[in-house]
Amino acid sequence: MEEVPLHVIHLDQDDPRKCTARKMHANGLVEIHESISRAPKRGYLLDPKATTILGPEDRGLISIGAAIVVLDCSWKRIDESLEEIAGRTRLEGRVLPALLAANPVSWGRVGRLSSVEAIAATLAILGHHDQASRVLQPFQFGQQFLDLNREPLEAYSTAESRGEIATMQSEFFDIE
């Protein structure tokens, strides 16, 4: 299976020592862009405020070389960060289905994923399990993320539609 191109739009808002995007870049796993204009033009922007959930319908574009792009910013500044890039990219926004964070900053919180967790979850949901494991490998909490979310990730990756994923997430987690 072809490797999915992974990119980060990095807004430099977090503690560099806790930044998973920098560590992924240092390990040759992602390409970092300080400028939005340098990010890929075709693919999906992982956006916790998007209205379209990531699903099997997104596999087609990925299979022809589209990228997965994460916006690396502070959760405290997510709204202003998304506003900053709004209209400046043609990437399609996708929200991830509910998952538990394993990173030390947001451990156990639903949806408060670090950049590496978001990328790994996206890869797993789209069927790129080996690449998801490789992306998490340099992180102490990487295997714990996969263990915590084993059942939902497996279910999401075998779903046949976004609607099915939306239903599943409310079965795994107490959300509407």
Per-domain residue ranges of the chain: 6-172
pLDDT value at residue 42: 86
Mean pLDDT of the 42-57 span: 90
Average pLDDT of the residues in 110-119: 93
Mean pLDDT, residues 29-54: 86
pLDDT confidence bin for 86, thresholds 50/70/90: low
Is it the case that residue 13 has pLDDT exceeding 70? no
User: How many whole angstroms separate alpha carbon 19 and alpha carbon 17?
Assistant: 6
| Whether the predicted pLDDT of 19 surpasses 90 | no
Measured CA to CA in angstroms, residue 37 lies from 10, 46, 89 at distances of: 12, 17, 7
The percentage of residues in the chain with a pLDDT greater than 90, rounded to a whole number, is 57
Strand order in the sheet with 92-94: 31-33, 6-10, 67-72, 43-46, 92-94
